[in-house]
Structure 1
Amino acid sequence: MKRKGWIFALILLVSIGMVTACSESTEGDPDSQTEGGDRTEIEFWTMQLSPDFDDYMNGVIEDFEAQHEDINIKWVDVPWGDMEQKILTAVASDSAPDLANLNPQFASKLAELDALVNMDEAVDPAIRDLYFEGVWKSNTFDGETFGIPWYLSSQVTMYNTAIFEEAGLDPEAPPTTFEELKEVSRIVKENTGKYAYFPPLDASHLLEALVMKGVELTNEEGTEAAFNTPEGVEAFRFFVDLYENDYIPREVLTESHGKAIDLYQAGQLAILATGPQFLNTVQENAPDIYEVTESSVQITGPTNKKNISAMNLVVPKQSEHQEEAVKFALFITNAENQVAFDKIVPILPSIETALDDPFFNELPEDPTPTDRARLISASQLRDSEVLIPPMRNYEDLRTAMNEALQAAMLGEMTVEEAVESAEQEWNAILGQQ
């Protein structure tokens, strides 16, 4: 599998809605999947980590089994696009794995069915406190915690210094706020004919931007929409103005985050706001662009809020070996194992003390763009949070917001009408709960 595939799998942390499909799963090392003697076998599903991370995963499994001679780990790797349907089918047929790697938004669908173990009860409070508090809370639904945080991604602003210079901008002063980004978008388009910014409107990106801009999405109880406010109208107007002035590509209405990566690699986009993982893709596919890439802090709004994406580990209640599954989940997510994983791919740990490792604080000699992005990403992790918590009927809510904004961008509604339309849709959806 090409490197680009696993990078996409990891960054969809995040964020983010998974395609529903069915297919065969890929299993890890056969030696680690054969039940031996009286060992308890734990079936562990991950999303698209094989074959690129076979050595790491099998190494962790071997270390755990050496310390727990009564437990055997059967590792099953599932293509990321198949996981949603596969685990839903498994839960429905009473054949769920003992442990699964999911993102918070999808795991919350299983939590809504009361299908997952409550980690607040299963994990000792002293161990629970090792994880970033905000990340632990991102796995909370109806007051119960349904997952253990695993790896994280904190978005950075990667930018093409050559385009900045061509546009007459200071390559050492990238935008850090949405207002600065709007001005940079104007300057780049007028002076180079290229675009500075591609705001992806898929997944959670739009909702995250609204929160950064100070927009409350719902009331405290989560029963009514709360974004039909001056802040909500101005947030919509930000995107509409960019579109109407041709400061962002027309494709934002039809294409996803992947299009932004394509444009950046082609040298037609000045800024790529995403996780450092994608620098590996740029390095492989467009080394000349990689060499002129620098990184800066995440672009945000007046709230100064910064977003992180998270992946977690959940234990279905169907498991007959819940205690052993939790034990392995805590082992693979401990500080030592997370740092080892982070040194293979540019992701971040969910254990706070892991950030004390020099790997996240010191640049090597002759640092690469990836090295610099890693340190920036790690430096803002303690001040970041999962901005969109698990929500009932999340996909319907996300779609309603996106469709309303797109109607305003196309001139089918005024900004005020679009916000009001989204409010009505949200209230109808939230009223179903």
Structure 2
Amino acid sequence: MKIRNILATGIAVATVLALSACTGGTAAPAGDAAGDGKIGGEITFQTWSLKNDKFTPYFEGVVDAFEKANPGTTVKWIDQPADGYEDKILQQAGSGELPDVLNLPPEYGYSLASAGQLLDLSKSSKVLGDYVEGGVDAYTYDGVDGSFGFPWYLGTELNYWNKALLTKGGVDKTPTNVDEMLDAAGKLAGAGIQSISDVPSPKSLQSLVSDGGDTQDVYVDGKFVFNTPAAVAVIERYAELYKLGAVSPEALQGAGTLNSNITNFNKGTVAWATAGPNYIDKDIAVNAPKLLPDVDVTNGFGNPPLFVQGISVSGKSKNEATALAFAEFLTNTENQIDFVKLAVGFFPGTIEANKDVSVFAESAKNDMQKTANELAASQMSDARMLGAPQFTEAMNNYAQQQIALAVKGEISAEEALTKSVTYAEQNVVD
């Protein structure tokens, strides 16, 4: 699940609530509320492919509300195209033209934070504790002191189950943890039913291992560390299930292929899949409506994945107080709720905003969708961003291919992870 791709494409074609008025949210106080300096003057605010018919009225409303609440301020809003955004940000930073406030995913923020280009919000902001913990953690980087982003809009994944297949295979209770899932997969395999259509990667292993109470990281203290005994044990269990017939052929053929598990689940051929919280209404109801009565949904395992977009402040801003005040204003609870009303399927970045999903979630067309919305909001406090900026998609794909070989029994689980760590070490970009 790529949060930027989903926002740029999926939301663009979804039916969403129209913004009927300028929704500026709670006004930021005038004066000196955000720091030691005066709030006033001009700042630049940069978004990433969000200037369009859907979102432009929202941003214009937020900017207008902030300027009215703080006479003498001007917020110049600029938007960059979807393609080449990271390169554009690095160019701006290199030329001393980084916007005062910018939409920045955690992966892109690492290079800037390492170079001292971003404001440390843990020292500068008094409201950082208002935001979802996992979102704040996403902007804290190994080897860099501080926190460098306000969580803005978030995504996560839930577990979806085919109840008809569970019942057919003699599984009476929907699994709620990893051990129950693996046990159920083995039992279903005995009835010729497949459960697993996606091979775990080092990222997904973080969630699977955390369900048992262990901590699993990808990169710590300058080293790749995902070749742990707990991770080996999970892969070995998958290999056992493969021999029993619990793993679909597509899982091994398409290791690393986006949404392969969803494709198979929609066909009604596997009993379990993971997907985002709007999967019921936006996908199953449209592409596999006959499956709807048989679908159950449960929370993600352990610390579920968290997909994050955030707002950062330039550490080189000549108008730091105003930039910080606007960043806090843009990401406060009321403004975040208004934004995710448009960005259907995502969740706001503050703790308070996630307490009542009915305030911002699109009205569910199916009862199970309502349940999914509530479960997704409930797990925001446990969800964590998987991987690390140093762990690239190429590294993840290579590792998943090696893990697929281990699941098939061609190499050991330990060898698969050791080779993957070596590959990552050889291809790291400082």
TM-score in same-fold range (> 0.5):
yes
Aligned partners of 1:5, 1:229: CA distance in 2, in Å? Answer: 26
1:9 is aligned to 2:15? no
TM-score, reference length from structure 1: 0.75
Residue number among 297, 300, 303 corresponding to 2:299 in the alignment = 297
1:132 is aligned to 2:132? yes
8 Å CA contact 2:122, 2:147 repeated in 1: yes
Aligned partners of 2:202, 2:310: CA distance in 1, in Å? Answer: 18
**Match for residue 33 of structure 2?**
none
SS of 2:345's equivalent in the other structure is: coil
CA deviation string 1:391-414 (max 9, x = no partner): 535557545643442342344422
CA deviation string 1:137-192 (max 9, x = no partner): 3211212212111122232212233443444443xx32112222223334445546
**Match for residue 262 of structure 2?**
261
Aligned partners of 1:232, 1:181: CA distance in 2, in Å? Answer: 16
Q: Tell me, which stretches of 5 or more residues in structure 2 are unaligned?
A: 10-21, 23-39
Aligned partners of 1:7, 1:192: CA distance in 2, in Å? Answer: 38
Aligned partners of 1:11, 1:343: CA distance in 2, in Å? Answer: 16
Q: How far is 1:276 from its partner? A: 0.3
Residue number among 44, 69, 86 corresponding to 1:84 in the alignment = 86
**Match for residue 233 of structure 2?**
234
Aligned partners of 1:218, 1:373: CA distance in 2, in Å? Answer: 29
SS of 2:353's equivalent in the other structure is: helix
Aligned residue runs from structure 1 range 157-172, under 5 A:
157-170=159-172
Aligned partners of 2:364, 2:422: CA distance in 1, in Å? Answer: 56
**Match for residue 335 of structure 1?**
333
Q: How far is 1:374 from its partner? A: 1.0
**Match for residue 273 of structure 1?**
274
Q: How far is 1:85 from its partner? A: 3.3
**Match for residue 183 of structure 1?**
183
Aligned partners of 2:118, 2:370: CA distance in 1, in Å? Answer: 37
Aligned residue runs from structure 1 range 10-409, under 5 A:
10=7, 40-47=42-49, 50-69=52-71, 70-76=73-79, 78-79=81-82, 82-123=84-125, 125=126, 127-141=127-141, 142-170=144-172, 173-191=173-191, 193=193, 195-199=194-198, 201=200, 204-213=203-212, 214=214, 216-217=216-217, 222-253=221-252, 254=254, 255-282=256-283, 283-290=285-292, 292-300=294-302, 305-317=303-315, 319-344=317-342, 345-357=344-356, 359=358, 368-382=367-381, 384-386=382-384, 388=386, 390-392=388-390, 394-395=392-393, 398-399=396-397, 401-409=399-407
SS of 1:204's equivalent in the other structure is: helix
8 Å CA contact 2:204, 2:386 repeated in 1: no
8 Å CA contact 2:202, 2:226 repeated in 1: no
Aligned partners of 1:358, 1:277: CA distance in 2, in Å? Answer: 13
Change (3 A) 1:369 1:407: same
Read off the aligned partner of 1:76 and give its amino acid letter.
D
CA deviation string 1:261-307 (max 9, x = no partner): 2223333333231320333431343344345433212134xxxx444
Question: RMSD of the alignment, in Å?
Answer: 3.9
Aligned partners of 2:298, 2:224: CA distance in 1, in Å? Answer: 33
Aligned partners of 2:374, 2:47: CA distance in 1, in Å? Answer: 30
Read off the aligned partner of 1:259 and give its amino acid letter.
S
Q: How far is 1:228 from its partner? A: 4.6
Read off the aligned partner of 2:404 and give its amino acid letter.
Q
Q: How far is 1:240 from its partner? A: 2.9
Change (3 A) 1:61 1:272: farther
Aligned partners of 1:222, 1:211: CA distance in 2, in Å? Answer: 20
TM-score, reference length from structure 2: 0.76
Aligned partners of 1:399, 1:307: CA distance in 2, in Å? Answer: 17
Q: How far is 1:49 from its partner? A: 7.4
SS of 1:140's equivalent in the other structure is: coil
CA deviation string 1:315-362 (max 9, x = no partner): 334554443333222112111122233444232222112233372799
8 Å CA contact 1:156, 1:373 repeated in 2: yes
* Mean CA deviation greater in 151-160 or 418-427: 418-427
* Mean CA deviation greater in 325-334 or 50-59: 50-59
8 Å CA contact 1:218, 1:225 repeated in 2: yes
Read off the aligned partner of 2:400 and give its amino acid letter.
N
Q: Tell me, which stretches of 5 or more residues in structure 1 are unaligned?
A: 13-30, 32-37
Change (3 A) 1:65 1:278: farther
**Match for residue 24 of structure 1?**
none
Change (3 A) 1:243 1:399: same
Q: How far is 1:100 from its partner? A: 2.6
8 Å CA contact 1:360, 1:378 repeated in 2: no
8 Å CA contact 2:152, 2:331 repeated in 1: yes
Read off the aligned partner of 2:75 and give its amino acid letter.
N
8 Å CA contact 1:223, 1:427 repeated in 2: no
Aligned partners of 1:400, 1:230: CA distance in 2, in Å? Answer: 20
Change (3 A) 1:188 1:341: farther
SS of 1:158's equivalent in the other structure is: strand
Change (3 A) 1:360 1:245: farther
**Match for residue 36 of structure 2?**
none
CA deviation string 1:114-146 (max 9, x = no partner): 3322222332x2x12212334323211212212
Matched pairs, number: 393
8 Å CA contact 1:50, 1:77 repeated in 2: no
Change (3 A) 1:244 1:168: closer
Read off the aligned partner of 2:307 and give its amino acid letter.
S
Read off the aligned partner of 1:117 and give its amino acid letter.
L
Read off the aligned partner of 1:91 and give its amino acid letter.
A
